[in-house]
Amino acid sequence: MNFEPSDLSDLKIAKTLLENPGLAAKITNFIGTPIEKGFQCLPVNWNMKVGEITQIALFKAVNIAVFTMKDASHEKASNAWHKLAVAASGGIGGFFGLAAVAVELPISTTIMLRSIADIARSEGEIISNTESQLACIEVFALGGSNKSDNASESGYFAIRAILAKSVTEAAEYIVEKGLAEESAPAIVRLLIIVAERFGIQVSEKVAAQAIPVIGAAGGALINTIFIDHFQDMARGHFIVRRLERKYGNETVEATYMTI
């Protein structure tokens, strides 16, 4: 099936959003300092600690944000309000430093997940559907191109392929048993895989906030870049999914690869 010109234009926008440089490059451009300097300011065991906080934040956000949302009709997602809320929490993190990450990150992640779901609805997703809810969670695994990624694992469709089995298992479990047991193995496996990739972006955010000159104002702006990045990932992801519903998965992927 041939793409309509407007749909092909949308797919080009989606690819630009999904395959552009990752969060580290965006933050570096903003602060004018290589983000590696921030990593040097972090404590020795920071990587393990951030990994733990990221998993906790994602689990809390999933329970609070997506699975409590109701369907609504939106012509446009309310990105600005979500940015303001995340900027405020980032200001707190910037003021209190690393000690505040455990408190600030679950709040930011929950707000971001609500924003992602809002974008999903604006692209025609029925957010009460399990498939759409899990697609919202997938966005946290999408980070744009990253230096640490293997080329065969960094592309948008490659990441979706990595997640596919876990997403299917989680969906089957939720349809059969609901969310009475958030610690069910099928759901936990998916969230752990997503958290591993999301943790890369969180580490870059934390490293940037660790640079001494950043402060509260810088923390707020870095958090704004943080949510803006994932709003871009969400917009690209749900444009692709909207087109997949119209043209089929294989046709969309094949066309995406030719752009």
CA atoms within 13 A on the CB side of 168: 6
3-state helix, strand, coil in the chain (%, to 5): 80, 0, 20
Summarize pLDDT for 51-90 with one digit per residue, the tens.
Answer: 888 888 888 888 776 555 665 555 555 555 445 554 455 4
- Give me the sign of the Cα torsion angle 65, 67, 71, 75: positive
Instruction: Please report the pLDDT score of residue 154 as a whole number.
Output: 66
Summarize pLDDT for 5-60 with one digit per residue, the tens.
Answer: 999 999 999 999 998 878 888 888 877 777 777 888 777 777 778 888 888 888 88
Rounded to whole angstroms, the Cα distance separating 47 from 101 reads: 13
Residue 216, both tokens: 């509260």
Model confidence at 180, pLDDT cuts 50, 70, 90, reads low
Summarize pLDDT for 132-156 with one digit per residue, the tens.
Answer: 989 999 999 997 555 555 555 568 9
Mean of per-residue pLDDT scores for the chain? 80
Residue of 50, 88, 2 lying closest to 205 (CA atoms) = 50
